[in-house]
Amino acid sequence: MSNEKKTKESFLARIRKSPLFLPIIALILVMAVNIIHDAATGANPFGFFIIRLQNTTSNGTILYGRIIDILNRGSEAAILALGMTLVVSSSAGTDISVGSVMSLSASFCCMLLAGYGVSSTNELAVPLFVGILGGLLMGCLCGCFNGFLVAHLHIQPMVATLILYSAARAIGLLLCNDLIVYIRNGSYGIFGSFLGPIPTPVIITAICVCVLSIVLKKTALGLYIQSVGINSKASRIAGLNSKRIIFLTYVICGLFAGIAGIVNSSRITSADSNNIGLYLEMDAILAVALGGNSLGGGKFSLAGSIVGAYTIQAITTTLYALGVSTDQAPVFKAIIVIIIVAIQSPPIKAYLRKRNAAKEVARV
């Protein structure tokens, strides 16, 4: 076998082993489905990729296109996926309360801005930053609660977070006095609207990704999280405070849930406790799995989770374009989850390793 051929095969092998391989392949498949659908309906086959400037009466000139819509609508899931990635990596468990924590954080923020018992307001009862800070602190408080149960009481993550999954929305309704609180003030709506031609949620997501990436790269936090996720007992013997690290990841997850809740609430300029963040915990978990991250803890890839989150949104948008109803879409997502979990299962991985080893022996 020539050196050039060996180099090419080793390059392809490295690509297949990359954590981004699976999410990028999934994203390419979604794009292919859109191209085929557009061509079959007589539309521009490459309409999925078209981005243009469009004038609107409310936001001026904005970027418009299916890709922009996917980036915009998938921002909340992408933000949640950041925190979920750290939680899965450190505790080998998922936080199923993030959607409900989104709702509670948004409800608390809007309650502060409108005043308790007020269902609609044009004038803010407190400065905007006070309401935003209150929502973020509420998210962190929920993260502290989940982190304490998991890290210090050693309750299985799904069971521990089931408490707020069930109770957080009800608490949000109590804070809003069983009302949908409307904040009819332009300053609050900016977080879910446009900043110039670019959707503000996309900018917020980019900031969250950059800040978290810098923190993980410039400090040893990323290494500590992976170490604890791989073997918490060995990490503790090595001098790491495993409980504190797991606790911190849940606090960060709660913070990102609070950010996502405020973005979601700002889109509709209100706090609808029953619907904000509904089923988004599924999208966040699926994004982490699709991003090539092991649900058993250990090494993680933020880039993979982000690609996974937007791939999920692309799948959702494509399903709607194909005529699938909102009630039927979760069925297709569940099928995708089954396929991903099966691919990442130990028996399948062992089979693929044996097959690759057999091919290498055959080449020799």
Evaluate if residue 229 carries a pLDDT over 80.
Answer: yes
- Amino acid letter at 140? C
pLDDT at 275 over 70: yes
pLDDT in tens, 307-350: 989 988 988 888 888 888 877 877 877 777 677 667 766 787 77
Single pTM value for the model: 0.90
Amino acid 267 reads R
Q: Where are the domains of the chain?
A: 75-322, 324-364
> Looking at this protein, which amino acid is placed at residue 77?
A
Question: What is the CATH architecture of 75-322?
Answer: Orthogonal Bundle (1.10)
Count CB-CB contacts under 10 A for residue 328. Answer: 10
Mark out the alpha helices in 55-199 (DSSP H runs): 66-73, 75-91, 98-114, 128-147, 157-175, 186-189
Distances (CA, A) of 13 to 2, 325, 339, 355: 17, 39, 22, 13
pLDDT band at 13 (very low <50, low <70, confident <90, very high): low
Whole-angstrom distance, CA of residue 212 vs CA of residue 158: 24
Q: How far is residue 202's CA from residue 207's CA, in Å, rounded to a whole number?
A: 9
Over 70: is that where the pLDDT of 206 sits? yes
